[in-house]
Amino acid sequence: MKDSKKTNQDSNDGKQKDLDADRSNAEGQFLTTDQGVRINDDTNSLKSGERGPSLLEDFILREKITHFDHERIPERIVHARGSAAHGYFELYKSMDSYTKAGFLNNTSIKTPVFVRFSTVAGSRGSTDLARDVRGFAVKFYTQEGIFDLVGNNMPVFFIQDAMKFPDLIHAVKAEPHNEIPQAASAHDTFWDFISLMPESMHMIMWVMSDRAIPRSLRMMEGFGVHTFRFINEKNESHFVKFHWKPKLGIHSVVWDEAQKISGKNSDFHKLDLWQAIEDGHFPEWELGVQLIPESDEHIFDFDLLDPTKLVPEEIVPVTIIGKMTLNRNPDNFFAETEQVAFHPGHIVPGIDFTNDPLLQGRLFSYTDTQLSRLGSPNFHEIHINRTIAPMHNNQRDGHMRQEIATGRVSYHPNSLGGGCPFQAKIDQGGFSSFNERVDAQKIRERSGSFSDHFSQAALFYNSQTPTEQEHIAAALSFELGKVETPAIRERMLGLLNQASAALAAKVAKSLGMTVPKIPEKPINHGVGADDAGAHEPVKAKQSIERSDALSILKNPNSSKSISTRQIAFLCAEGVSGASVEAMKAALEKEGAKAVIVAPHLGDIKTAEGSAIPADQTYKIAASVLFDGVFIPAGKGILELSKIREVKEFLNDSYSHCKIIAGEAEGAQVLGDINDIDEKDGGVLAGSSAGDKNLAASFIKALGNHRYWEREKSLS
């Protein structure tokens, strides 16, 4: 009897193993749900009309995203690595003509905020300087409830429909068979996906640009990404795009520098934000909006509901309406930064959604994710997530409940509790969704107005300076050079060619390939799929050819401020104290910070017989952690040209196009470094200690961030 049971068990185990083997080998198989139902369209969510809202009954979308949302515990699946700070938002002028949101009407109040910045692809332990999108999420604690503006440092996204979000993240994450590479997109699975998704081409330009490797979280823009609605007291609607403009301007590092920073200090951005606030250099951003009347929804050569498109500022200017200041670091990283729960569905009266199919999917996904991460529907009761507005409802119990509800009534309607809590009328602040007409059939299709995948990719590339264009070409060459599958590289060259033939040619040359004359058709619904909802990718003519707002170097909001910039003073015994103090005073007057780097810690004796305390040694310091270099005067300084670490420091600074200045003997040291051209416009020399002209020139040059012309001579 026992033998018979064992035989049956062995047989069942064998069948299960065979079934598992069949499931793991998808070659020639149909795509199905977890219940085995064959999927006809894995690209589009179910909507009410091709531009209508997504429908909750879409069991395929819900199953796919639910599974995705619960894949990691407790670390965030995306945006796992984050930094955050407290602050406040002040309104410059009332927006009551456009929205009834109280915090956007009253200029006399300061609205508390909590802001979390993050990278998307890496784990909590990954580096800050990965080439990646940066999350820019702002929680407004308004008097009418929580408003979460959950965006990124780029105004567009890779995909148009939430149905493809799990696929995008699965592709960019470390490959599942070996968990390599970490926090990097330079691998086959990511580019395989992108090469088959032409709608990603605009976002690819942004991610391959310098926007993906910011100098500081304090020096990057933020965007709401989606088109939202403002609703005023008259129930009039305006479409709105949200923008955050950093007061310090937009600045980035170069790719070689980013890689070296990752090795020298993987917490570079986190420490930079923390230290700036601790030092009283509070980061500031101005909030701007692009406002579009409801009647103008269809006047553009792109679709407002398409999250892979932006509205050029030359067409609809950004109106600055307020300022956000971050002035306090978290007291506990886990309790605040890690447990904060953002959600694009957290809105207040006066703000509403549109039918952007990516936004519609996010409205479901974020709550589902918090249930997994924080383990309870009561995540709103965690201190960092609590609203400052009065909160009364009939929700009860649940895991980790904090509120102690009293009374016998926990339902509505009721008479035993006097009907309380009762519903608020609209004129009492009750939330009411915009009364948008929807009259359409249920379909899995995408609007033809979403099919232009290359025009804005071309607009972005054409708007860059030659320096920035070279950086994009170099980034693509690096990323695709890491791809092992030739067919993927070829498909990408075909897509790049439709955005910019010049760019495709540059990348092809670096890969030792030719640009295909006829690109492979990238849309592939699979065997037996219904292609009725598919639209051939097109490139429509745009009303503008260039936009300075898309370039970091040409950006009209760029700042010349050197506030909080870190300047390395390379010193040695016998340095001129007068030289050090004069330049230090000039830089600190502009808000920059001088860091004394010397052969050893402790006091450094000056030529005048005094002492200067060293902040770092040459064994600790690295040029990539500084924004500029100054070599003071003093006979002892001549010894620097003999120190290997100093040579490496200066050569790296020079190759990264940083501004370098030297006074007297300091200038002589620069002349002794073979790889540095003294005639270079970003290499400044002063003839004597305390040279005021040198200080003025150095500060002006630092305001330009880098001397990019140097790249031509280094290439």
Mean pLDDT on 414-432:
88
d(CA 272, CA 220): 13
The answer on pLDDT for 313 being more than 50 is yes
Mean pLDDT on 301-316:
97
Pair (543, 578) in one structural domain:
no
Between residues 23 and 47, the one the model is more confident about: 47
User: Which tokens belong to 97?
Assistant: 């003509």
Question: Which of 370, 385, 400 marks a domain boundary?
Answer: 385
pLDDT value of position 69: 85
Mean pLDDT on 602-608:
96
Pair (370, 336) in one structural domain:
yes
Q: Which residues of 560-591 are buried (b: 16+ CB within 10 A; e: fewer)?
A: ebbebbebbbbbbbbbbbbbbbbbbebbeeee
Identify the band that residue 66 occupies on the pLDDT scale cut at 50, 70 and 90.
confident
Pair (605, 520) in one structural domain:
no
Q: Name the strand (E) or helix (H) holding 230.
A: strand 228-231
Residue 312 lies in a domain: yes
The answer on pLDDT for 654 being more than 70 is yes
Identify the band that residue 602 occupies on the pLDDT scale cut at 50, 70 and 90.
very high
Alpha-carbon dihedral 189, 193, 195, 196, rounded to 10 degrees: 140
pLDDT value of position 133: 98
Between residues 19 and 431, the one the model is more confident about: 431
Helices 59-69 & 165-172 angle (0-180, nearest 10): 30
Residue 338 lies in a domain: yes
Pair (540, 587) in one structural domain:
no
Q: Which residues of 267-288 are buried (b: 16+ CB within 10 A; e: fewer)?
A: ebbbebbbebbeeeeebbbbbb
Identify the band that residue 346 occupies on the pLDDT scale cut at 50, 70 and 90.
very high
Pair (471, 366) in one structural domain:
no
Residue 158 lies in a domain: yes
Residues carrying an active site annotation: 79, 152
The answer on pLDDT for 534 being more than 90 is no
DSSP H stretches of helix in 70-226:
165-172, 188-195, 201-207
pLDDT value of position 226: 98
d(CA 594, CA 590): 11
Question: At 697, which CATH number?
Answer: 3.40.50.880
The answer on pLDDT for 59 being more than 70 is yes
Residue 23 lies in a domain: no
SS3 262: helix
The burial of 123, by beta-carbon neighbours within 10 Å (0-12 exposed, 13-18 middle, 19 or more buried), is given as middle
User: Which tokens belong to 36?
Assistant: 């085995």
Assess whether the previous peptide bond of 344 is cis (omega < 30° from 0). no
The residues facing 611 across adjacent strands are 605
d(CA 196, CA 198): 6
Pair (589, 539) in one structural domain:
no
The answer on pLDDT for 679 being more than 60 is yes
660-672 pLDDT tens trace: 999 999 999 998 8
Residue 417 lies in a domain: no
CB 664 within 8 Å of CB 699: no
Mean pLDDT on 249-262:
97
Question: At 506, which CATH number?
Answer: 1.20.1370.20
The answer on pLDDT for 488 being more than 70 is yes
CA-based diameter of the chain, in Å?
101
349-377 pLDDT tens trace: 999 999 999 999 999 999 999 988 998 88
The answer on pLDDT for 645 being more than 60 is yes
Identify the band that residue 703 occupies on the pLDDT scale cut at 50, 70 and 90.
very high
User: Which tokens belong to 426?
Assistant: 């609209």
Pair (610, 692) in one structural domain:
yes
Mean pLDDT on 455-465:
97
The answer on pLDDT for 6 being more than 80 is no
Pair (68, 113) in one structural domain:
yes
pLDDT value of position 5: 45
203-207, 389-393, 583-587, 611-615: segment of lowest average pLDDT: 389-393
The residues facing 86 across adjacent strands are 114, 328
Identify the band that residue 215 occupies on the pLDDT scale cut at 50, 70 and 90.
very high
d(CA 105, CA 198): 41
Average predicted confidence (pLDDT) for the chain? 92
pLDDT value of position 1: 46
pLDDT value of position 613: 97
Count of domains observed in the chain: 3
pLDDT value of position 18: 56
pLDDT value of position 450: 95
pLDDT value of position 557: 79
Residue 301 lies in a domain: yes
- Give the domain range for residue 541: 452-525+534-550
Residue 246 lies in a domain: yes
The answer on pLDDT for 610 being more than 50 is yes
22-26, 115-119, 410-414: segment of lowest average pLDDT: 22-26
Pair (70, 212) in one structural domain:
yes
User: Which tokens belong to 133?
Assistant: 């999108």
Q: What angle do CA 208, 212, 214 make, to 5 degrees?
A: 140
Distances (CA, A) of 143 to 360, 388, 392: 26, 6, 14
Pair (370, 467) in one structural domain:
no
Question: At 279, which CATH number?
Answer: 2.40.180.10
User: Which tokens belong to 520?
Assistant: 């492979």
Question: Which of 342, 366, 385 marks a domain boundary?
Answer: 385
Q: Name the strand (E) or helix (H) holding 396.
A: none
Count each helix (H run) and each strand (E run) in the chain, helices first: 17, 20
The answer on pLDDT for 526 being more than 50 is no
- What does pTM read for this prediction? 0.91
Mean pLDDT on 529-557:
79
Query: Strands 566-570 and 593-598: what pairing?
Result: parallel
Rg (CA), the chain: 28
CB 383 within 8 Å of CB 335: yes
Question: Which of 385, 409, 444 marks a domain boundary?
Answer: 385
Pair (591, 546) in one structural domain:
no
pLDDT value of position 126: 97
Mean pLDDT on 249-275:
97
Residue 47 lies in a domain: no
Pair (239, 127) in one structural domain:
yes
pLDDT value of position 4: 47
d(CA 365, CA 343): 9
Mean pLDDT on 669-698:
91
Distances (CA, A) of 499 to 155, 195, 204, 274, 636: 18, 13, 11, 40, 56
573-583 pLDDT tens trace: 999 999 999 99
The residues facing 292 across adjacent strands are 239
DSSP 318: P
